[in-house]
Amino acid sequence: MKAWGIFLLLLCLQAITYAVIGESQTCPAENVGKCDDSDWEGEFFPGINKIKYEGPSSKNPLSFKWYNAEEEILGKKMKDWFRFSVAFWHTFRGTGADPFGAPTKYWPWEDGTNSLKMAKRRMRANFEFINKLGVDWWCFHDRDIAPDGETLEEANANLDEVVALAKELQMQSKKKVLWGTAQLFMHPRYMHGAATSSELGVYAYAAAQVKKALEVTHYLEGENYVFWGGREGYQSLLNTDMERELNHLARFFEAAVAYKKKIGFNGTLLIEPKPQEPTKHQYDWDAATTANFLRKYGLIGEFKLNIECNHATLSGHSCHHELETARINGLLGNIDANTGDPQVGWDTDQFLVDIQEATMIMLSVIKNGGIAPGGFNFDAKLRRESTDVDDLFIAHIIGMDTMARGLRNAATLIEDGTLAELVRKRYQSFDTEIGAQIEAGKADFDFLEKKAKEWGEPKVASAKQELAEMILQSAL
């Protein structure tokens, strides 16, 4: 009887606890699994306050040392130069798993399922995270934020339910979607590609999935929409009709443009170049290849590029090269701020911490006048060995601080003018009447041959590369 009394007392205490939870509409993270998502208002990141700027001398890992959101650099606030965004898939769906090991990350709010209830809980965690980090944008894939379904109708219904919550949370927090996208690479149906699949049924399914993702991005007032063709390519040309697949891909993009206009979505459509992985060869190999594709099919005015730094290095270029290629073609739309490891041959999606690389990136961004309505999306993930909740904040903080240092350095170089003057002097022979004729297309070969004979052997000046590197280093 004594044991029975204790049991009844425990039941009463539990009932009182749930009554208090219901009355205050809170459910702390440690009570995961014990309350409905609709009651979840407790902190997912208890003990972590909003991240503040404390300056370079601060030793607090949960503070900004270089990123000061409201500080003006070259006439624009830091936050407006960057428009930082958190990638939902890496931050809230990343598990630390790799081809050789099981997941290593078990966040306290996870219950081990991919249910709608869990999807809503993750969405709430996402908004608490970006609020505390002080970031105004977030990015998503459709299948990352909501579970797939047995049918397209079920998948769409799941997405609608989670998106309704996201819309509510956006209105409460005044946050925005930088871009949305459809995940057209994970499901087995996409093993031959999506828009370039050899199967008509897969092409149609992919179109339906993009149609829904465009609608959802528009509903969430997203500012861009991204296409990443991870499997739009080939493993072997022996069994591939490349011309037909490229034509199909162009028709797919044309249909996306038409539907964007039909629903009144004013966001920018972006294509994200990547050379390979998972496909041996992807049709959007790099910025130049993608620009050529857009011109060939008359799409150059409908799309811009989302340049990912890690993808740039996989294609044999620097991130700076890819940004400049996109910029001079009028196609620079967004940047996925990450990096790879020179000792690892695949896409490691690390947070960018190289200050020199960040400086070069910001030189391109400043030349471009900024990248709005695009921004800097942290398409980056924690290392497999980083497993604490606060590591999520620390990783984003160092990424934001690195880019802020890059902006400060680039501004110093521009205001000093020494590097720009070095470049100007290198090409000063074209700042002449004849140089102007050449650049205007008014100097034919007969004329140039005459001048070459008249001038004799040309004198070639030094490129002063080491001096240019010295000037760059002086700003770091």
Residues acting as catalytic residues: 141
Instruction: Quote the CA–CA distance of 194 and 231 in Å, as a whole number.
Output: 7
Compute how many other C-beta atoms are within 10 angstroms of the C-beta atom of residue 79: 18
Q: Per this entry, what is the length of the chain? A: 476
Closest listed residue to residue 461, CA positions, set 438, 427, 433, 417: 427
Instruction: Quote the CA–CA distance of 244 and 189 in Å, as a whole number.
Output: 19
* Burial (CB count <10 Å: 0-12, 13-18, 19+), residue 209: buried
Identify each DSSP E strand in 69-188 by its residue range: 72-73, 76-77, 84-87, 137-141, 176-181
Do 382 and 395 touch, CB atoms closer than 8 A? Answer: yes
The residues facing 268 across adjacent strands are: 224
Instruction: Quote the CA–CA distance of 358 and 367 in Å, as a whole number.
Output: 14
- Helix 319-328 crosses helix 355-367 at what angle (to 10 degrees)? 0
- CA distances in angstroms from 201 to 190, 196, 198, 205, 247, listed in the order given: 11, 12, 9, 6, 17
Closest listed residue to residue 285, CA positions, set 261, 244, 314: 314
As given in the structure block, the two tokens for residue 113 are: 């399922």
What lies within 8 Å, CB to CB, of 472 at 6+ separation is: 356, 359, 413, 419
Instruction: Quote the CA–CA distance of 345 and 313 in Å, as a whole number.
Output: 10
